[in-house]
Amino acid sequence: MATKVVMEALSPTMEEGRLVEWKKQEGEPVAVGDVLAEVETDKAVMELVARAGGTLLKHIVEAGSTVPVSEPVAVIGEPGEDGGGDGNRGSKVNGQRGGGGGKTPAPAEAQGTQPAPDRNQPTSMPPAPPAQAATESRAASARPAATVSPPAAAVAQAGGRVKASPLARRIAAERGVDLGGVSGTGPEGRIVARDLEEAGAGAQPGAVLPLPTSRRGPPAPGAEQSYTDVPLTQIRKTIARRLAQSIGPIPTFYLTSEVDMERAWEARESLRAATEANVSFNDIIIKAVAMALRQHPACNAWWQDDHIRYWNDVHVSMAVAVEEGLITPVIRNTDQKVLREIAAESKDLAARARERRLKPEEYTGGTFSVSNLGMLDIDEFTAVINPPEAGILAVGRIVQKPVAENGQVVLRRRMRLTMSCDHRVIDGATGAQFLQTLKGMLENPLALVW
């Protein structure tokens, strides 16, 4: 009996997926657990695996198609068996027999995935918060474009197919880059987006290709088209949907405080000199936020429509800009980790976030978020809350400025912090007290190791 392969819910918030690339072709043998295709979800690029063995009889959808969860995408069966895959009566869906014509949704157990947790039931792992969008930075638009003269050849799959991530393939197509001449630094030699940027940096003058169409400026006079339409990616769809859920319904207020970072600056320099530890200011801020949340649990909370959930564990989400938007990997039990652990984990999570290789449990379940644009010379901004979280901290740059101290004007390193608060959960005084504690920790960094 033929078995239909359906689009599985590969993340807790996934409603549809874009089938990026088929890994198994029609007529090829398939074993349980084999990777059939790569699927772009709302957060990452993940693998769709076979739940039944046999022969891949038919691709119901083509690569590049966007398919709702539970809709069929392929048929597995025995050689010579009918691979109609059009909802015929009696076919099986991932091992479960369908009851009649039309589409047959597969239960979560048959798909091999767990359903999203009930927001109204206590859980040890919180349900998925969304990708936070308003603080998104498109710094990549300032990078050099890729070129046609990279130094080394890419690693190819059997049959001569070049290994490349879906994002790298899209960028290469937009810029006219031959992936066969690009050296890959991703897993198993796979070409990733950064390889195209690095290839551009080493090119001969005059060999630079146009930027992707989605980032081009106004068209030149006389151009055939006056605009370019770029289809939404899954992550951009999610960002747009979550923005509408956050900005409109949530009554948000903002609190801004300026912090003296002179001692934190000195502490970081001393730490790096003594241990060669690559600790960033963002790592220090994340640690301080976690410890301040421990003292102010009213800010470590979720709005749950008919109740407020106050978390006993502190899981800090950090906003990471990716090529197509923003994602918030989570450092779990942040208050219990020392700086070197936070530094190592944050760098690993950020790197895999940019490659769209995070697991769902690595970007879901945050209890409070931090978004830092200081490295992009932003002094101050307001960030959009990640529902159901009740707060997010926006971090500006550290800059020297004249301040009054003991009747004298001196230069001090200062940094501005702005906290966005869901007023249904956090009152003004509650948020102000949290910021006051956070400021004290950053101005006296020994408090972070007390």
Q: Which two tokens stand for residue 6?
A: 């359906």
Phi, psi of 431 (to 5 degrees): -65, -40
Phi, psi of 66 (to 5 degrees): -100, 125
> What distance in Å separates the CA atoms of residue 4 and residue 75, rounded to the nearest whole number?
4
> What distance in Å separates the CA atoms of residue 230 and residue 237, rounded to the nearest whole number?
12
Q: Which two tokens stand for residue 195?
A: 């390889």
Pairing of strands 368-372, 391-405: parallel
Q: Is 228 helix (H, G, I), strand (E, B) or coil?
A: coil
Q: Which two tokens stand for residue 220?
A: 């030149």
Greatest alpha-carbon span in the chain: 90
- A 10 A CB-CB count for 403 gives 14
Q: How many residues are listed for the chain in this entry?
A: 450
Cα 247 to chain center, whole Å? 20
> What distance in Å separates the CA atoms of residue 384 and residue 366, rounded to the nearest whole number?
15
> What distance in Å separates the CA atoms of residue 337 and residue 71, rounded to the nearest whole number?
43
Active site residue 423: yes
Q: Which two tokens stand for residue 155?
A: 């690693």
Phi, psi of 42 (to 5 degrees): -75, -10
- 16, 234 in Cβ contact below 8 A? yes
In 3D, which of 367, 334, 325 has the Cα closest to residue 131?
Answer: 325
Given the residues 59, 307, 315, 423, select the one marked as catalytic: 423
Q: In 142-155, which positions are buried (b, 16+ CB within 10 angstroms) versus exposed (e)? A: eeebbbbebeeebe
Which residue in this structure is represented by tokens 């691709």? 59
In 3D, which of 265, 288, 335 has the Cα closest to residue 438?
Answer: 288
> What distance in Å separates the CA atoms of residue 154 and residue 160, rounded to the nearest whole number?
10
Look up residue 411 and give its DSSP letter.
E
Look up residue 85 and give its DSSP letter.
-
Which residues participate in catalysis according to the annotation?
423
